[in-house]
Amino acid sequence: MRRILVAGNWKLNGNSHSVVRLASAVVQGARELTEVDIAVCPPYVYLPAVQAQLAGSRVALGAQDASVQDRGAFTGEVSAPMLKDCGCRCVIVGHSERRSLFGEQDQDTAYKFAAVRRQGLMPLLCVGETLDEREQGVTEAVVARQLDAVLALEGAGALTDAVIAYEPVWAIGTGRTATPQQAQDVHAFIRSRIARQDAGVAAKTRILYGGSVKSANAAELFAMADIDGGLIGGAALDAQEFLAICQAGHLQGQQG
């Protein structure tokens, strides 16, 4: 039985006023949306302010990244224990922007995944190919490499408390969404890759789609067999738009 998860990645946006407004509006709107899981991932510095709004609500707090280190002389880093202390329940790891803009390698992502799990938090592992890679026909090879780094370090069992997000880089922030079938094909591949190690875990792992999801396309994406929710960027900065996407997840959840 799958349950749709809609997570908002606010990236490097907002200020101390706007994040509180946005969080408060999401909390209000989420009250009725009982059949969908919802999380928001603000920038680090706003985690406590957003957590104050989310306390006691159905909306979980998440972070956008975490250090591989738990503590020590690592200037500028934020650790998974700190994120847990701030009330986070999930942490995005391996987002394509971390990979492409900040040089994060598959192995770094795997260590972050492990650091997050050590704290009992849920890693939200991002994978996905660039436009070049898609055009070269190596989408599955790229996604397999990214996934295998985590499977090799942590084993398939670790995915029991994790979520995967397939985010084709060419669809992020571009307005160019993968078609439901394009996304479904890669999601099915990801599930089959996990199943090679553990079919039981594969069947239960939630695989989210991310890349220009909006209220206009959410329902058709969530209706696909292997799409278990969405990781939302731009559209998560508008409470009504984000809630409309959550509503699509809620309706899908009601259908069973």
Q: Which residue is nearest to ligand 13P (CB)?
A: 233
Nearer to ligand 13P, 201 or 235 (CB): 235
In angstroms, how far is the first alpha carbon of the chain from the final one?
8
Long-range contact pairs involving 66-72 (C-beta distance under 8 Å, separation at least 24)? 66/91, 66/93, 66/112, 66/115, 66/116, 67/112, 67/115, 68/108, 68/111, 68/112, 68/114, 68/115, 69/115, 70/115, 70/118
- 91 or 201: whose CB is closer to ligand 13P? 91
Minimum CB distance to ligand 13P, residue 195 (Å): 25
Binding stretches for ligand 13P (CB under 6 A): 9, 95, 167, 172-173, 210-213, 231-235
CA distance 159 to 176: 29
Side-chain half-sphere CA neighbours of 147 within 13 A: 31
> Residue 202 CB, nearest distance to ligand 13P (Å)?
23
Phi first, then psi: what are they for 235, rounded to 5°?
-70, -15
The dihedral of CA 198, 203, 206, 209: what is its sign? positive
As annotated, the active-site residues are 95, 167
Measured from the CB atom, is 111 or 166 closer to ligand 13P?
Answer: 166
Query: Min. distance of Cβ 13 from ligand 13P in angstroms?
Result: 10
Q: Report the nearest approach of ligand 13P to the CB of residue 8 (Å).
A: 8
Nearer to ligand 13P, 133 or 201 (CB): 133
